[in-house]
Chain A
């Protein structure tokens, strides 16, 4: 095709709209974008099927009640899921108290001030910091400097590190939940002489609570799958004992492992049997994650109130 032809064609197309060709382009975009959407989901499906096929054979009651072992048939997940449980409970307590408190402070007490803006930008930045950097912070701050308090490479150090990691997510979702509460409720409370804190405690918090809870559960479901920062903090890959429940102070200061780290340990072994054991661990981890996500979605749908009509 000569240059004259192509310019003729393009000048033509500005006036004679060749609809057929343009609609064909539309069909192509629609089709390609649909395929692209399904690629991600297809890989997800293949991944889940692959994991289940590899892992079902070692998945039994013994798997959940045994400690790790040199023999794949006896290797178990006990110290890993108990460790994850400790970590989750501690992280939930620390991060929800601090995160919800900080969110209320930013949204209800100092909204739209320059301090709030600085903290907001700062939180945005923290959310984009790679998780392994938090691991290095935890290593230095909690494992080394605060060793007399935390006991070094302990479940407490891990929980503190994890709390810092998910704090930005909880603060952001707390603020969103508070923002969805209509101002008229606050004004009504203030008009009858309540202090700001009384309004927050009695009026705003109960309405915003499901939203905060949803955000916290989603943040925790991220924490339960995190591996890298805990490796940096020094969670061990082989643990054949459980932290003591009582005295709890000693339990908090014991070394620990968690589910994703145990999985990593099994994956990185050369024997193929251990790869299948790793798949069993992944099944347990994924079931737990899906459970947490469904609870969060259920809460969101059940308690979502629409104030737009009020």
Chain B
């Protein structure tokens, strides 16, 4: 309507203003959805967890040494699940952090541009593989392979779940670290070369310290991902709540417990339903603390370059 010729010289400014107002309100509501999501997560977790602690005292949650909430004589020792979670996460991190960082160094400092143009999309594909596929791979390829070398390895175990999870997290560490390594200005490198440094000395002595805040941020994000990763551990580490640090046996993580209860239909308001949210809250708090630490670290140690 506003585009027809007779209107071009006499635009309806009032209408335009009103339309703009309406658009701003609608889009503003859309932006508010993200705030509402956060609020929704916190309210949901808090209310159901509060109800959970009406039935199960906090000290039992923290001190029981068994996790058997679905049995007739239930025990609620969250440490059992924490133990399983950290066991798999630590194995994953041992794999992902060094390999991810070295890949970032190779991609940004050593790889020729043509090779790099192939390697980066390939890593993106690795990042895009669904986690249930990694779970399949861990259970049906890696575990039988490892059993050739470690005969006492169980069919479900923390080791292969952790190893494969580490591979799955490599692209995350590599891409964030590479971004921050690439952001280090060329003049810093040239300065170091001018002082007679070799390429290795430039990389380890100048580039990595300068990019440290981004590298650490990628590490923390990787830890947070490993703690919250669900399908790999559900498929490959089993459902056996075990208070152990032995990577050769089956363990249950917080996330795989949530899957286990979700698959059996827990009625609303039942204690099993609330257990979901108590475990979810524990998981959420851990990832939140890691996030806050990452924010703090990046703000504190970021090097700003023009």
Contact = CB atoms under 8 A, between A and B. Distances in A.
Interface stretch (A65-73, A131-139, A246-254): A131-139
A190 to B, nearest CB: 12
B125 A285 contact: no
B225 to A, nearest CB: 8
A104 B20 CA distance: 13
Interface residues of chain A: helix, strand, loop or mixed (majority): helix
A125 interface: yes
Contact of A34 (B11, B110, B268, B276): B110
Given A17-B196, A195-B16, A282-B133, A37 B262 contact: no
Given A36-B106, A46-B141, A122-B35, A130 B129 contact: no
B34 A132 contact: no
A227 B130 CA distance: 8
A8 interface: no
Interface string B111-127: 10000000101111110
A197 B133 contact: no
B16 to A, nearest CB: 5
A37 B44 contact: no
A278 B27 CA distance: 42
B49 to A, nearest CB: 11
B135 A267 contact: yes
Interface of A: 17, 19, 22-23, 25-26, 28-30, 32-37, 39-41, 43-44, 46-47, 50-51, 54, 97-99, 101-102, 104-106, 109-110, 118-119, 121-123, 125-126, 128-137, 139-141, 144, 164, 167-168, 171, 193-198, 221-222, 224-228, 231-232, 234, 237, 260, 263-264, 267-268, 275, 278-279, 282, 285-286, 289-290, 293, 297
A47 B133 contact: yes
A130 B20 contact: no
Nearest to B17: A195
21 contacts: A29-B200, A33-B106, A34-B110, A37-B102, A39-B99, A41-B126, A54-B140, A102-B31, A109-B27, A110-B28, A128-B287, A131-B230, A133-B41, A135-B258, A136-B45, A140-B277, A194-B16, A225-B128, A228-B258, A278-B136, A293-B124
A138 to B, nearest CB: 9
Contact of B11 (A104, A105, A144, A193): A193
A171 B34 CA distance: 10
Contact of A102 (B30, B106, B277): B30
Contacts of B128: 221-222, 225, 289, 293
9 closest A-B pairs by CB: A130-B228, A225-B130, A36-B102, A26-B200, A105-B27, A228-B230, A33-B106, A101-B30, A102-B31
B190 to A, nearest CB: 17
Contact of A167 (B37, B227, B259): B37
A47 B20 CA distance: 52
A137 B110 contact: no
A19 B198 CA distance: 8
A109 B200 CA distance: 47
Interface of B: 11, 16-17, 19-20, 23-24, 26-28, 30-31, 33-35, 37-38, 40-41, 44-45, 48, 98-99, 102-103, 105-107, 109-111, 119, 121-126, 128-137, 139-141, 167, 170-171, 174, 196, 198-201, 203-204, 221, 224-225, 227-231, 234-235, 255, 258-259, 262-263, 265, 268, 276-277, 280, 283-284, 287-288, 290-291, 295
Nearest to B227: A130
A14 B284 CA distance: 50
A137 B40 contact: yes
B283 to A, nearest CB: 6
Given A22-B201, A36-B106, A130-B227, A140 B44 contact: yes
Given A198-B16, A267-B235, A105 B136 contact: no
A47 B259 CA distance: 24
Given A128-B291, A131-B230, A133-B280, A44 B34 contact: no
A122 B288 CA distance: 12
B121 A23 contact: no
A104 B24 CA distance: 9
